[in-house]
Amino acid sequence: MADSTWKTYKTAVESFQSFRKLYNLQDTWPAPLYDLLFYIAYMSHTGLSASTITTYISGISTMHKLNGHTDNTKSFLVTKILEGSKRKNSPKADLRLPVSMNLLKRLIQSLPFVCTSVYESTMFASAFSLCFFGLLRVGEITSQSKGRAGKHVIHISDIKLVRKQDSVDLHLMIRSSKTDQHSHSTTLIICSQTDNSICPVHLLKGYLEVRQHALDSNLYLHFDGSDLTRYQFSIVLQRALSFCEVKGHFRPHSFRIGAATEAKRFGIHDDVIKKWGRWTSDAYTKYIRLDI
């Protein structure tokens, strides 16, 4: 599982333990069925969303399995009370807006005015375009923070430019990802676009020409060699949106949402979109926003 999932599951177990302490319930494992039922009711009463409640119960379930305990979270009563919590607490809407191809172009054109140097604007232009056309998760092109590189970040050695007749394709190897924790890897083939201002291949080539660090490090590095972080990516995105006078709930994931939406708008079959985005479930349907 992803590190973030382990962290969430740990929080879930700690929350369950605090609940049992609050109501003087014994700290026994496997957790008694009625402890679990009361805990779900407690979480629902305190206003937690149905998805959070389900995630917390999944964390407690994992704790049981890891320790070889009988897993009461799979009982009929737990299943039914979870269904009840979903009906009681309607899911919160995902307010993140999609970045369209037109908006992508405007954002990239704004970068020379919002970045601190030509190098930075060149790097972010490539990062924005690749994030869109590769349907990438932001954690695949940025580190979590300074000095804390994410394990799924693309390295410069993971890219290969391949000439194909009159154009050049980008072969991008994803060594591991949120849905590929065992590093089976997959290679994306990203084609050139006729519009060089948004073309991921053209913009990447421009970035590679000014990138000075040839070691097998993260693909996107600042001029001083430090990693591009998620926070920095988010900040520059917000500055570009502000420069373009575009308002709305746009976040780094908006590129992935926008690419899926644009693909659907162009008539790409759902199975192809699912493959492009490397979704292993029907979660991709939540990313398609044709009504916006």
* pLDDT at 257 > cutoff 90: yes
End-to-end CA distance of the chain: 33
Residue after which a domain boundary falls, among 42, 67, 88: 88
Q: Is residue 96 part of a domain?
A: no
Q: Given a cut of 90, is residue 95 above it in pLDDT?
A: no
Give residue-wise pLDDT tens across range 167-210: 899 999 888 777 667 667 889 999 999 999 999 999 999 999 99
Range of the structural domain that residue 45 is part of: 3-88
User: What CATH number did the domain enclosing 8 receive?
Assistant: 1.10.150.130
Q: 24 and 47 in contact (C-beta within 8 Å)? A: no
pLDDT for 227-247, tens place per residue?
Answer: 999 999 999 999 999 999 999
Please state, in angstroms and as integers, the Cα–Cα distance from residue 265 to each residue in 31, 59, 200, 268, 274, following that order. 48, 37, 20, 7, 14
Whether 234 and 258 map to the same domain: the answer is: yes
Find the range with the poorest average confidence among 107-111, 187-191, 278-282: 278-282
Residue 48 pLDDT > 80: yes
Three-state DSSP state, 245: coil
Both tokens of residue 149? 């590189």
Show contacts of 11-19: CB within 8 Å, 24+ apart.
11/56, 11/59, 12/55, 12/56, 12/57, 12/58, 12/59, 12/60, 13/59, 13/60, 13/63, 15/56, 16/56, 16/60
Whether 94 maps to a domain, the answer reads no
Total number of domains constituting the chain: 2
Domain holding 272: CATH number? 1.10.443.10
Q: Is the pTM here over 0.75, yes or no?
A: no
CA distance 16 to 47: 16
Q: DSSP state, 2?
A: -
